[in-house]
Amino acid sequence: MVYKIAVIGGDGTGPEVIAEGLKVLAAVAKKHKFEYKLEEFDFTGKRYLKTGKLVSDEDIEKLKTFDVIYLGAVGDPAVKPGIIEHGVLLKIRFALDQYINLRPVILYPNVWTPIKDKGPAEIDFVVVRENTEGLYVGTGGYLKKGSPDEVATQVSVNTRKGIERCLRYAFEYTKKRNKRKQLTLVGKTNVLTYAFDLWERAFHEIGQKDYPDIKREYAHVDATCMWFVKNPEWFDVIVTDNMFGDIITDLGAMIQGGMGIAAGGNINPEGVSMFEPIGGSAPKYTGQNVINPLAAIGALQMLLEELGEDKAAADVEKGIKYACTQMKSMSAGKMGMSTTEVGDTVAANI
Ligand code: IPM
Ligand code: MN
């Protein structure tokens, strides 16, 4: 079998970090003897400014023919905020029904964390973020726009089916991860009394009936931010809605060493999934060979897990861990190595 991989370098430093990921992919494919075919897609701010094109329905049909998608970053400062985000990233997530956003928060040895007295033993959990509903649906609008009486609404959409498939994925993931077997629902039941009541009822119903061995916990999202800093070891797997998941995973990225190392996957367990570093396009570092490619290489590790190439994925993780011991910092420009040297270091240790 030859894996078909769609590659979207994207904006800013996206193409540079993806190039390092592809370098590592070539190394593991050689070692583990699998074949793949790459096809690049130019979904960028630059192309949009030139042609007005974003991701079309035909592009989506094309993407459906791939096994996986490997994405660098979206966001171009020359384009008004929201256009590329909606027209490329959210378009793909929604159209391919990638209803899970999986974001591991794992601190590797030798990586600096801003949390004093916490290390790899304490910072090791995974966030399962719902990825197709909530505030991201775009329900709402303006009334009397531009007038002093203007009203803007933005409604969070939560469906029983959407919540249930996300919860089931999270329970299964907790079972498979097989660490503390604890799943924490993160919400705001004290204020968002409709949406998170539905989440909470579904959480306990499904857990009680089908996952009696998984310990169920609940935490408000504001308290969760506090615990991430104070006692990150309390978490094993977290499940939450789209907006809260977006917010807490930036905090999660910081405690695991920063955006330079945080990877994620947009997963449709029955369809085509897309893997990406969770940070942005970091435009000011573009073309300088200083950005950290480890987040993109971590996304490649997740991509290989999705393909079922578990041994290759484990080797990529080993390579990342080794690179961490050789780097001075995870931050752009301070790594003590260039972008390409980090990629070389990982690839050489496969
Ligand atoms: C992320 C990003 C996106 C999101 C933006 C770029 C739309 O912040 O992947 O976390 O909010 O999901
Ligand atoms: Mn985000």
Question: Do 330 and 114 touch, CB atoms closer than 8 A?
Answer: no
pLDDT digits (tens, 9 = 90+) for 148-164: 999 999 999 999 999 99
Spatial separation of the C-alpha atoms in residues 69 and 62, rounded to whole Å: 11
Residue ranges lining ligand 1, Cβ < 6 Å: 85, 89-90, 246, 278
Residue whose CA lies nearest to ligand 1 atom number 8: 246
How many domains are contained in the chain? 2
Q: What is the pLDDT of residue 342?
A: 98
In terms of domains, do 232 and 120 share one? yes
| Helix, strand or coil, per DSSP, at residue 40 | strand
In a domain, 139, yes or no: no
In terms of domains, do 273 and 240 share one? no
Question: Do 127 and 235 touch, CB atoms closer than 8 A?
Answer: no
In terms of domains, do 288 and 252 share one? no
Taking the CA of residue 276 as reference, the ligand 1 atom at the shortest distance is 9
Ligand nearest to the CA of 131: 1
Of 256, 282, 306, the position where a domain reaches its end is 256
Q: Which of 225, 227, 269 shows the shortest CA–CA distance to 245?
A: 225
> Which residue ranges in the chain fall short of pLDDT 50?
none
Q: Which domain holds residue 34?
A: 1-106+259-350
Q: At what angle do helices 310-326 and 339-348 cross, to 10 degrees?
A: 130
User: If you measure from the C-alpha of residue 108 to the centroid of ligand 1, how many angstroms do you get, rounded to a whole number?
Assistant: 24
User: If you measure from the C-alpha of residue 350 to the centroid of ligand 2, how many angstroms do you get, rounded to a whole number?
Assistant: 30
Question: Do 311 and 33 touch, CB atoms closer than 8 A?
Answer: no
In terms of domains, do 201 and 77 share one? no
Q: What is the pLDDT of residue 50?
A: 98
- Predicted TM-score (pTM) of the model is 0.97
CATH number of the domain to which 13 belongs: 3.40.718.10
pLDDT digits (tens, 9 = 90+) for 304-346: 999 999 999 999 999 999 999 999 999 999 999 999 999 999 9
Of 209, 236, 256, the position where a domain reaches its end is 256
